[in-house]
Amino acid sequence: MAPALLLVPAALASFILAFGTGVEFVRFTSLRPLLGGIPEYGGPDARQGWLAALQDRSILAPLAWDLGLLLLFVGQHSLMAAERVKAWTSRYFGVLQRSLYVACTALALQLVMRYWEPVPRGPVLWEAQAEPWATWVPLLCFVLHVISWLLIFSILLVFDYAELMGLKQVYYHVLGLGEPLALKSPRALRLFSHLRHPVCVELLTVLWVVPTLGMDRLLLALLLTLYLGLAHGLDQQDLRYLRAQLQRKLHLLSRPQDGEAE
C-alpha cells in the first residue's frame, strides 16, 4: 500500500480531473447546442430523407466515429464497474480503486468530447425555425438545462459527493477509519447495487431537450438513454429508501442553527 503522502495527491488529482471533465461536459451537452459553437444545421442536405442520409458516406463516416467513441466510454464505464474488475483493481490499487475508476471515466469522457464529430449536413428530427418558436424554444431549453444541472449538483451532494469521487475512501484510510461503505446501512448498499447513476432523469432532460436535434445529437441521446435505462434496476424498496433519505436531509437543512432558534 502506498504511503499516505502519495495516496492524497493521487486522489486529489483524480478529483480535479473529474471536476474539470464535468465542467467540460456541461459545455459539451448544453452550452454548445444552446449558445452556438457547432456548425449550424441547414441547407438542402439537411432536408433530405433519412434513408438517403444513411447511404451518404459523408454522413455515415462521422456517425460511425461518434458511435465508436460512445461505445468506448460505455465499455469503460461498464467494464470497470464489474465486480471482477473492481476486485482486481482493489487488490492492486487498494483504497485508490474508486479514484482510478473516476479518473478513467473522466479520460474516456474527455475522448468523446474532444474528438466528437458533428454532422451538420444530415437531416434533423426537429428544429425550431419559425418565429416565435425560434426565440422561445431555445430560451425554454436553456431554462430546463439550468434547472437540470442545478438538480444534478444538488443530488450529487445528497449522495455524498466526496465518496462518489473517491476522496472519502482515502480520507478514511489515512485516519484509520476503515472503508466508508462498511458504515452504510444494508438498505443503502442495496440501493447502490441497483443504481448506476443517481441523476438519470436530469441527464435525459439535458440530452433530449434541445432546439435542434440533428443526427449526431440523436445518436448521443439514444445511446446514453439506452445505457442509463439498462444500468438501473430500482424497485419500490429502493424508492422508499431514497424518499426517506431525502426527507431526512431536508429536515436537517431546515433545522434552525444554534443561537438562531430564539
Closest by CA to 10, choosing from 156, 171, 157, 160, is 171
Partnered with residue 213 across adjacent β-strands are: 126
> From first to last of its 262 residues, what are the pLDDT tens digits of the chain?
446 677 888 889 999 999 999 999 999 999 888 776 444 545 444 445 677 777 888 889 999 999 999 999 999 988 998 889 989 998 988 889 989 999 999 999 999 999 999 987 778 888 887 788 878 888 999 999 999 999 888 777 766 777 778 777 887 777 776 665 544 555 544 445 445 555 677 889 999 999 988 889 999 999 999 888 776 554 455 445 455 555 565 565 566 654 444 4
DSSP string, 201-252: HHHHHHHH--SEE-HHHHHHHHHHHHHHHHTB---HHHHHHHHHHHHHHHHH
What is the pTM (predicted TM-score) of this model? Answer: 0.77
**At residue 215, what is the residue type?**
M
State the pLDDT at residue 56: 82
Give per-residue burial for 9-26: e unless 16+ CB within 10 Å, then b. Answer: ebbeebbebbeebbebbe
